[in-house]
Every structure is written in C-alpha cells, then in structure tokens.
Structure 1
Amino acid sequence: MKLKKLIYGILTATVFSACADKMEYHEYNNYDEDYVKLNFGNVGGLITDIYLKLDTDFGNYSGAMLASATDEAEYAYTSNDIVDFYDGSWSPTNAKSSMWSTCYEGIANCNHYLDKFTGLTFPELELNDDYVAQMGRYNNYPYEVRFLRAYFYFNLVRQYGDVPFADHMLDAEESNTLSRRPAQEIFDYIISECDEIKDLIIEDYSKVDRPIQPVEGGRANKMTVLALKARAALFAASPLFNPTGDTELWHRAALANMEVVNACEAAGMTLVPKYETLWATKNYSDAIKEIIFGRRANRTTSSTESYNYPAGLTGSKGGNCPTQTLVDAYEMTDGKPYDESGLYSPNDPYSNRDPRFALTIAYNGDMWPNWNETPLQTYQGGLNGQPITGGTPTGYYLKKLCHADIDLRDNSTNKADNHTWVTFRLGEFYLNFAEALFKYLDGADVKSSEFVDKDGIQVTARQMASKTRTRVNMPEFPTGMTNDIFWKKYQNERMVELAFEGHRFWDVRRWKEADKFFTNIAVMKITASGGIYTYNRETVTRMWNDKMYLFPIPRTEIMKNPNLTQNPGW
C-alpha cells in the first residue's frame, strides 16, 4: 500500500517547506501510519531512522574532516571542498549546509514521533513472551526521542547561533514563517529537556527488568542525557554565546559537568588504561568504561583508512595530514613544551614525546600501518612524500581513527572493519569541568564546597585538567600557575587529548580565538641527504574573517522563508 500524507509540514532539507508526502522509514517506508503502529518492530524502525541522522566525521567532505579546516590538519588535495572554509569560497550560496538539512529532518521526525506514535499499548501482542520487555523498550522511546531532538538543536545552535525552533508538527503556513530564536533560549531549552528526562530515561540497558537480548547498545541513556546537558552548558557559557561574560552561565556549566563526571564515576566508569582503545575496532565494548555514547557509523568499511593511510601505499590517498602546529602541542615527557625542554633534539624531534603523539600521528621513519614493512619516508622525494599524488603537505599522516590492521593490498583478506564514532566520552567532561571551574572560580587551584567529586571531596580545575594526562603517564599540571599559563596549558591539553574527534573546529570558535589559532599553521618540510634528515618548519597562511564564527544560513532557505534572517557579515 502507498504511504499516505503522513507528515504535515515536516521540517525537511528545504526547511519549513510545505507538506511532505513521505518519511524515511528505513525498511518501513512503503507503509502507512496504521502499518507502522502494528508492532514493536515497525515503531522501532522509526527510532532507528532518527538515530541514523546523528553526526560523525570520519571524512564528511569527500574524505576531508573538519580537522583540516583547523590548525590540526591540512588536506593533501587542494581541490577538496574543505578548502572553502579558509580560502574565501565559503558563502550563503556555498553554505556547507548538510547539518542544517539533516538536523531539521531529524527534528521533524522527532516531533512527528512524539505527536503520533506515543501511548500505544499493542493489545494484540499481550500474550507474547517478550511483551513486557518490548513495552519497556517502547515506553523508553519518547525519552530517547526527546534527547535526540535536543541533540539536533545543539548541533544547530553551535553552528548557526539563533535558529528557528519547533517542538511539534507544523502545518505549511507555520513552517514557512518561523523566525530565529535567540541562541541562549535554545541552550536553555536543551538543558531543560535534559533535566526533565534524565531520571526518566533508562539508566543502564543491561540492568532493566527482563532486558531485550542482546542487551541494547548504541542507545541514549541517562549518562548520554547528562553529557548533552553538560556540553550545551559549556557552549552557552563560552564567549561566542556569552559576550557579556555572565559568570552565572559558567556556574551552570561547572555544575552540569560535575554532574556527568560524578554520575559516570559512581556508575563505575573511568578513563580506559590505553588511549588508543578509544578508536580501536571494538571500542564499543573494550572502551565502554569511558565511552558514554558512540555511533557505529562505518560498518565493515575501509574508507577511513583509504582516505588517510600514507600516500604511496596501495589504495591509500594521504588525506587529513596533521600539522606541525599539532605536533608542537605534544609536550616532552617532562611536561614541558618542546622549545622549553632539554629533552628535545632538533635532529631527533619525535623522541621523548607525550605518548599520545605516536598514537595519533605517523611521522618520518615510523612503521605504519601494521602491514607496511618499510619505514615511512615523508621527506621531499621519499616514498610517501611530495611530489607524489596525495603526498603529505605537512610531513605527517594520520593514525588516530584508523585501524592499523586493515590491509588495502590486493591479496589481503583483512580489507575492512567496523568504526564507531565517539560522540561523548568521559575524558572530554573532565576537561569541560576543568574549564568551567577555572572560568567560574577564576583560578586553577581555587576550591569551593560546591564542587566536589563523587565522594564529596573538593576538586580544582587543575586536578580535573590533569586526569587525561596521568592516563598516559604525563606529569600533572603544576600547582601555582598564573591564570594565563593555566589557560594556555589547558587549551593545549584539550587540543592533544581530543585531536581529530571533532572538537577543535568548535572549541576555537566558542572561545572566539580564531584570529590567534586559525590564521597561520605550521608544517614540516623534511629533506634527506646521505641518510641525514633536515627538519624545517614553514608557515602557511590561511584566511579568517570574524563572520566565520557562525555558518551562513543557506541562501535557498532565506528565499523560502521571509522571516529567516542571515548571520552578520554573510
């Protein structure tokens, strides 16, 4: 049977357009509303489709990550669309608008579900053995959907600032007249939604009465809701969205991040011992102690590897090449920057580094990936260096997110694997908590009885910012730092710990420090002569304009809605 006009005024890629005559129901999209309501599986399919709209970044721009629009990386191919972010080609007619369309589709689907598919009882299924368990899952769906809707709004407000808002299905007239709501109102909504559902949504899917087998994975739970609330509160307090420096917003952010950290620790979560486990093949199980929420995004593929393995290897394109700027962020093992430490040697620049360096970045002489038997030659004229197609423009290749055992050679039997994108993990929230505490209390070592760990012991920003360092045996931040020194070290630590996890692009924007970080990047040009390598830093200039703190609203959307205004400068 044909799908009837099921959605009235759904928010689609055309944003607040007139009636849509279909909804992407995955395998359910050929059936009408009555069919969807027939059983648990059909309704569950709608939820699955909403989850599928969650974002990842294993290479959203034809292989390029947003990291290559920051000082983390440079993409090996200058013809890639990622270059538009810093060469002047970005505009309302080239608006990079996939987030706009995807999020509003997701929000429309959430509103549609909440308006049409809640309150069902499936009486014809009551005699089934799994009825109680299935109803338990079904009764949890509204809270999952409310989380997902709030998450989509977070992605929109982070990217665009003020955005149109709807929490119900819209008719055509209403959808085409919505104006933008202030960003702080959107943040307040997200935080309020999270507060309302955090004690209603399932806390742990493995501990519910009569759980579905196998136990649910990859679904939002209480910790996921707390994580979204905490991240939203941090952004709301940051200078981009808090231009007056309202300290109460930092207070709210500190409390929210303390809440998620303490809840995770009380539930037995902790930083996993090995940093690299976070993006390993089975991170969804082996790193479950740290990963709060992850999306199994790239199932049985090798696209991440083929985009990023070193050029010169079979099936490998080079891709997102870490910058020297990022390399310089990795301190020496004594906890000092390379240019302040006696452990640094300009002739052997990669020894005695923070262990996260070698786990994240492939460098000249490195053995990478596992099946490659020849040390990498990233120097000019080397097997993996320029001028070959895709040869690294920075002197480095990316390890993090790639699975080193995937072998792209023709005779390989291990050509693909699962990849899980980490959306929220505990390591981020230790750093978030540190930042909010520092900003609110105005000091790295300042204590307050209001901010404690799960055991009630007062904590400081310095202690929280040191958590991710001690995991890899790096020295804790020292006591007695001035505010300026702490802030610089904190930003550096965040860049290192969260490299290529989709944070840097947004962190520098919310801090409003792009003129400091994004106008120049450093790259390494290596030459070889007689077995001796010479390392020369070079500076690459990039374009920045303050209008780029927020994305342009797509011109096509403004043309459709007379009440939709453009962001300043665009």
Structure 2
Amino acid sequence: MEMKKIFIFIIGAALFLASCKKDPLNITPDGRLTLDQVFKDQIQTESFVNTIYGKIPLYFFNYNSYGFLAGITDEAQDNRNTFIGGMALQWQNGALTPSSSPLAGMLDYSIWWQGIGYSNLFLANIDNANISDTAKKSRLKGEVQMLRAFFYWELVKQYGPMPAVSKPFAAGFDFSALTRPSFQEVVNFIVSDCDAVIANQNVPLRITDASERGRFPKAVAYAIKTQALLFNASPLWNQSNDVSKWAAASQAGQQAIQALTVQGDYQLYQDYGQYFLKTQDLGGSILDHETIYELPYPAGVFSVINTIPTNGLIIGTSAGACPSQELVDSYDMQGTGEPAVLGYSDADHLQPIINPASGYDETNPYVGRDPRFYATVWFDGSHYGVINGVDHNIQAYVGGSDQLLPYLQFANTRTGYYLRKWYDPLIPANQLVQQSKWKKYRLAEIYLNYAEAENEANGPANAYAAVNIVRSRAGMPNLPAGLTQDQMRDRIHRERRVEFAYEEHRFWDVRRWKILSQTDKLVTGLQIAKNGGSFTYSRFVTERRGFGWQDKYLLFPIPLSEASLIPDFSKNQNPGW
C-alpha cells in the first residue's frame, strides 16, 4: 500500500465523546474529502487505512523527555528524573490524576478512542467501497479489524473495561446511557475481531514485501488474542482464579504457536543481542523470522538519549534510563541455569538472598550470567567498543570515566549501569544514525504467554518446551525437571523479566499479577570502589518513589472530562481514583 495521506478531519480532538457526537468527516473548501469521496476512490480508501495506522504511538524512548516506560518500573531509574517536565519526575510526584497523565500523547485515552473511531468508520463503509478486487477489499477490512482490536486492547489494559462500540455513533446518540461492561465482555469483543482476521484467507500471515512495511500481518491477531486472554486470566481480572480462563489463554497460545511456527515460518532469531540492532528485513530470503510487528519508522537517535558519558564527549546528552540492580539480580547463572538472587531479606533490597546452588560469586558479580544480561546491560568492565580511536571498557567505578554520580546531572548513571540493548557501538554517535525500531510483537512473547497460561491451567508438564525454546535461543540450559506449578510460575515470571527487559512488558505484568506494591516502591544501584586490582561493591537505594506503586495505579483513572459526562463512568471510576 502506497503511504499517501488524505485530509480526514475528526471534529473534536480530545476524547471520543467530543469526536463522536459530530460528523467525523467535514466538507471544507481547501481540498478535504467527504466520506463518499473517500470510499468512491480506491487510493483514498487505502489512504484512510494509513491514517488509522498513523494513530499507533511511537513507544520506545519517546515518552515525555525521551523516557522509557521502564524508567517508572523496577527495571530502571530514569537519569532525567529531576527534570521538571519529564515523565519520571511527574510520575513519582503523583501527576497521574483524572485530570492529567505524565504519559499523555503516548499511552493516551484519547488516542485509543480516536483509533477506534476511525476503525469503526472505515468498517461501516468498506463493504460498499469502490474496490473491484474483492481480495484486496477483504484484506483491508481484516487489517482494520486488527487495528480496532489493537486500539481496544491498548485502551482496556490501561483503563479497564470500556464500552464495546462496533459502529460509528449515530446523530443524537445518548452518550449518558453508556455503561462499563465486564472485562470478560470487552475481551470477548476484541477476540472476536482477532478470530475474524484469523479466518480471513486474504490477510497474509506475515509481511514479505518491503513496500508493505508497517502493515499488520495476520500474526498480529494471534499476538493480541494471546495477550488479551492471558490478562483476562491473570489475578487482576480473575480474582477467583477461574481455571477455565487460563485454559482459554493456553489454547489460544497453542493455536498461535501452531499457526506461526508449523503452518508458517516464524522462528526465534538466533542471536538475542543482534536481534535488537536489526531492522526487520522483508523479502524472499529474510533473516528475521521472529518479528511479528515492528513500527515502520525509526524511533530517533538512540545514541544521543541513552549513552555513556565517555561517548558523550562526542555528542551524547544523557545516560537515559539506567538498569536497576533489581534487573541485574534477575539474570540467572548460565552454567547452572539457576537464579543467582532469590530475593531480598530487607525492604530496601540491600541484603540479597544468594542462591548457593547457582554458582554466583558476589565478589565477581558479572561473571557467568545469562547471555541476555550482556546483551542488555553495560556494567563495569564490559567492553564498549572504540571511541575516538581508543578501545574502551566501561569504567563505572568511583573515579572512572563512566562513574556513578548520584546527584543532579544527566550524563552519568545513578545506578552503576548503562543500557546496552538496542545500542550499536559500531555506529559512531556523531553520525546521528537512527539505529533502532520498536518491535511491538514478537514470537518469544507467544511462547511465554502460552507457557504461563498452560502452567496455571494444567501444571508445568507442557509449559517446559515453550520456556526452554526461549532459553535455548539465549544460550541458557533447560529448566530443571520436576518443578512444581509454583516453581514454574516463578521461573516464567523471571523469564519474562529478562527476555523482555525494557520492552514495556514489565510495566503491565506487575499490574496484572497484582504485585505492583511489592516491586515499584524503590530501585537500587551498585557503587563500586576500585582498590588497586580489586573491587568492593556496595548496594544502595538510588530512588524512593512516593507515588506509582500503590494499588490504585494498577489501572489509570478515567479522565474527569469523560466521567463527568457519562454517569456510569463516574459511578464506576477505577478503584482509588
């Protein structure tokens, strides 16, 4: 599909009530199009689809002040957390209210509803569109059904259940009559869209033509379905632990794996670290068989936003979202496959519970860890690359060129670590190369979604294979035989944490597991003192958070402007708001 634009004018910008109460297309004297004109012309109809795709956020490090969502989880401390207008400081200061959100413009109530509104308008008219190629018309319809499912799912995992609206609102619609459904009901609505796409033979399982980069393949429907059903079965939405919900999520995961890897040619990319440095290649002989959907546009110049201060002598501006000690502790030992740190014996996470069976050595904490650790984190002594013609190893110890500086500045880490994932040191920072794109959905998630649901539904026996294939790609040994359901649950939680580090899963996982108040109160770092050829390591609390971890943050508040107009939204505002 050629990426052309049309001037579709949505009256009312902010929230779906304002936009849906009026005609979403308007005749204007400056070349804008009427609804009839759009669907009488195939090019304009396809361009309308591109307009809907344009509502997908950038994600990645494009939150306010170039933040990662990870920076407000226990994965990281955002180095810019003292910047008054920044997302991290606003979040910690309690700026999320029914009247405002630090994540506005990215994870945004109005954006999700705009995407839904556009999708409904398209779906109400596509059957009568002037497109003679019925297969093309069917494919466009399928893509927009996926887009509607996407926007609905992003909306409800953030705000909880919302009215399932399948058609444009008619003139004079009584919005005050809208009510909030159950979470199950809205998940059923999302799944029905996904199932319609899965049954649509005109939607390809994967995109292979580079000219179609950015379009949804059918595999996205499988990804959304498995994720939605997994959330539906999780403690936040399944307080009675109804096993049938886990069974439904497991079945969806199993079907997705079958469709993608047996009927299709999806498979894990064999080099975990390199995977995040590569743009998805499309064509006849592709290397990346893992990515299900990658945003088609570069996120920005990563090397300027997340870099080490030594490299910053060239052009870097910030250390960015620096990995926490909690994230580092979550990586297993490669030799034994066992967790290095089992937890903490104190509330401040300064006294780790070391697993004696793991082989972990506190005096050599970076030796022998899961290879994904080395692909994700730059730590003291790790090899960075060549800077100004000189080979450089990270010097995070006190007095080193990349040392931890726990005061108000942006250039140096405040945790003792820097983010390695997505960063290619072979590309000089002063070239301002836009290195990376955001992989929204990938096959590894399907495996771990299935494994979690299967373990909860039927125990660990059949979950092993899905977890082990992900671990094997990373160079990790299989999980030990004989794990109980509880032990497998813990292993899967750990696996998701390290496999998806910084990919926004942690933000949502701790909410659906209802452990937010246990994980996000604080993050710690590691100060390193060099004494000749030896080092001493001291854990410390680098950030205590006053807000963002209480139970009310399991869901975002419905915006006040909506709750004031719809009585049921006000009556059933999310808990704590």
Task: Give the TM-score band, short-chain normalised.
Answer: 0.7 to 0.9
8 A Cα contact 2:163 2:179, kept in partner: yes
2:382 pairs with one of 366, 380, 386: 366
1:558 pairs with one of 560, 563, 567: 563
Matches within 5 A, 1:150-161: 150-161=149-160
Return the TM-score normalized by structure 1.
0.86
1:232 and 2:228 aligned:
yes
Report the equivalent of 1:294.
Answer: 294
8 A Cα contact 2:338 2:358, kept in partner: no
Report the equivalent of 1:174.
Answer: 173
How big is the shift at 1:320?
0.8
1:81 pairs with one of 73, 87, 90: 87
1:416 and 2:472 aligned:
no
Report the equivalent of 1:191.
Answer: 191
Report the equivalent of 2:42.
Answer: 40
Report the equivalent of 1:353.
Answer: 369
Aligned in 2, Cα 1:106/1:76: closer, same or farther, shift over 3 Å?
same
Greater shift after overlay, 348-357 or 395-404? 395-404
How big is the shift at 1:416?
1.4
8 A Cα contact 1:321 1:393, kept in partner: yes
Secondary structure of 1:434's counterpart equals helix
Report the equivalent of 2:71.
Answer: 68
Report the equivalent of 1:379.
Answer: 397
1:569 pairs with one of 570, 573, 576: 576
How big is the shift at 1:390?
3.0
Secondary structure of 1:180's counterpart equals coil
Greater shift after overlay, 187-196 or 364-373? 364-373
**CA separation in 1, counterparts of 2:531 and 2:387?**
27
How big is the shift at 1:203?
4.5
Could you tell me which runs of 5 or more consecutive residues in structure 1 were left unpaired when the two chains were aligned: 124-131, 446-459
Report the equivalent of 1:438.
Answer: 455
8 A Cα contact 2:529 2:535, kept in partner: yes
**CA separation in 1, counterparts of 2:404 and 2:164?**
48
Report the equivalent of 1:466.
Answer: 468
How big is the shift at 1:326?
0.6
Greater shift after overlay, 487-496 or 397-406? 397-406
Q: How many pairs were matched up? A: 529
Report the equivalent of 1:311.
Answer: 309
Aligned in 2, Cα 1:42/1:526: closer, same or farther, shift over 3 Å?
same
8 A Cα contact 2:49 2:140, kept in partner: yes
Secondary structure of 1:74's counterpart equals strand
Secondary structure of 1:480's counterpart equals coil
Q: Could you report, residue by residue, the CA deviation over 1:242-273 in whole angstroms, capped at 9, with x for unpaired residues?
A: 11111111110000000111111111221111
Secondary structure of 2:474's counterpart equals coil
How big is the shift at 1:218?
2.9
Aligned in 2, Cα 1:380/1:206: closer, same or farther, shift over 3 Å?
closer
Aligned in 2, Cα 1:328/1:214: closer, same or farther, shift over 3 Å?
closer
Report the equivalent of 1:109.
Answer: 118
Q: 2:64 is aligned with what amino acid? A: Y
1:399 and 2:420 aligned:
yes
Aligned in 2, Cα 1:433/1:6: closer, same or farther, shift over 3 Å?
same
Q: Could you report, residue by residue, the CA deviation over 1:155-208 in whole angstroms, capped at 9, with x for unpaired residues?
A: 11101112233211114643742332222211011112211221115343789x
8 A Cα contact 2:404 2:415, kept in partner: no
Q: 2:428 is aligned with what amino acid? A: D
Greater shift after overlay, 337-346 or 509-518? 337-346
How big is the shift at 1:346?
2.8
Report the equivalent of 1:451.
Answer: none
How big is the shift at 1:529?
3.7
Q: 1:547 is aligned with what amino acid? A: K
Secondary structure of 1:63's counterpart equals coil
**CA separation in 2, counterparts of 1:402 and 1:352?**
22
Q: Could you report, residue by residue, the CA deviation over 1:90-123 in whole angstroms, capped at 9, with x for unpaired residues?
A: 3222334442111101011101111234322357
1:252 pairs with one of 248, 268, 277: 248
Q: 1:558 is aligned with what amino acid? A: A
How big is the shift at 1:400?
1.1
RMSD: 2.8
Matches within 5 A, 1:429-508: 429-441=446-458, 443-445=459-461, 460-508=462-510
1:147 and 2:185 aligned:
no
Aligned in 2, Cα 1:87/1:484: closer, same or farther, shift over 3 Å?
farther
Q: 1:143 is aligned with what amino acid? A: G
8 A Cα contact 1:13 1:104, kept in partner: no
Q: Could you report, residue by residue, the CA deviation over 1:25-76 in whole angstroms, capped at 9, with x for unpaired residues?
A: 9xx9833334434533222111112112223422223211111111111101
How big is the shift at 1:392?
0.8
Return the TM-score normalized by structure 2.
0.85
**CA separation in 2, counterparts of 1:379 and 1:506?**
33
1:426 and 2:447 aligned:
no
8 A Cα contact 1:40 1:138, kept in partner: no
Aligned in 2, Cα 1:205/1:487: closer, same or farther, shift over 3 Å?
closer
Secondary structure of 1:309's counterpart equals coil
Q: 2:372 is aligned with what amino acid? A: R
Q: 1:503 is aligned with what amino acid? A: H
Report the equivalent of 1:261.
Answer: 257
Report the equivalent of 2:18.
Answer: 17
Q: Could you report, residue by residue, the CA deviation over 1:430-475 in whole angstroms, capped at 9, with x for unpaired residues?
A: 111110011011x212xxxxxxxxxxxxxx1122211111112211
**CA separation in 2, counterparts of 1:520 and 1:147?**
38
Aligned in 2, Cα 1:44/1:419: closer, same or farther, shift over 3 Å?
farther
